[in-house]
Amino acid sequence: MVEVTKDDAIKAIQMCLENTLGFLEDARILISKNRHDRLWMQFQFAFEELGKTNFMLTQLENEDDPIQMNNDIRTKHEIQMAHIKNLARITPYMKDEYERVWLDFPMLNPTTGPVFENEETEKMRKLLHQSLAKDAAENFTELDQAILDELLDEGHQLRKDCRVNFDVNTGKPYKAEALRTDKARIAQGIIEELVSNFQQRLENIS
């Protein structure tokens, strides 16, 4: 167990957030160079730093003194992830973005003007369009959350598998598949949201 003063905890939180943003910038560089095979490591390191951050922030908000940093939260990936899993949720903003995309979908919302001459029929088409956009946004948001949960639950193993390993049954070498673009987008968005949230919480404490 390590006991940390309030000032040192605040400094540690700032360092964790800076480190998280650094991992995020590294991820952006890898994405720009189409090097998705190493993205797992950047995102998982970022999540781990955020887990420690939330652990310290919660104690500061509870006015604990000193801050207790046990070995598990300092070194164990699963414990660090547990401290952000409930916070790592697809945000309403991201859902709204999906709905906006579907509202602008050309086949449903032609830019040339109304589809039907009859005013009531055109009104019904627009209502149906809005309903379809909302349903599509709901479905895509649920898919994104499932992907995010997978990243949090299985990311540690996949991060380790970025390095070459050997199948225990066949002895054949392998490494994890590259992180898909959609998964990278979700991880990046959630990390940015959490950093913003934690920065605001830190300002409220300071």
Top-confidence residue, 49 or 36: 49
pLDDT tens sequence across 114-172: 767 778 887 887 787 778 777 777 777 787 788 778 777 777 676 666 777 788 889 88
pLDDT, mean over the chain:
82
**Owner of token pair 């499932």:** 146
**In this predicted model, what pLDDT tens digit does every residue of 52-96 receive, in sequence order?**
999 999 999 999 889 989 887 888 877 888 888 888 877 666 667
User: What are the residue ranges of helices labelled H in the chain?
Assistant: 6-32, 39-61, 71-75, 77-82, 92-103, 119-160, 181-205
* pLDDT score for 200: 95
Mean pLDDT on 169-190: 82
Q: What is the mean pLDDT of residues 174-183?
A: 77
pLDDT for the residue numbered 108: 58
The pair of structure tokens assigned to 155 is: 């990311």
109 confidence band (pLDDT: 50, 70, 90):
low
- Give the pLDDT band of residue 105 (cuts 50, 70, 90): low
Q: Which long-range contacts (CB under 8 A, 24 or more apart) does 140-146 make?
A: 140/98, 141/90, 141/94, 141/95, 141/98, 144/90, 144/94, 144/186, 145/89, 145/90
pTM of the model: 0.74
Q: Quick one: pLDDT at residue 102?
A: 67
Max distance between CA atoms of the chain, in angstroms, equals 74
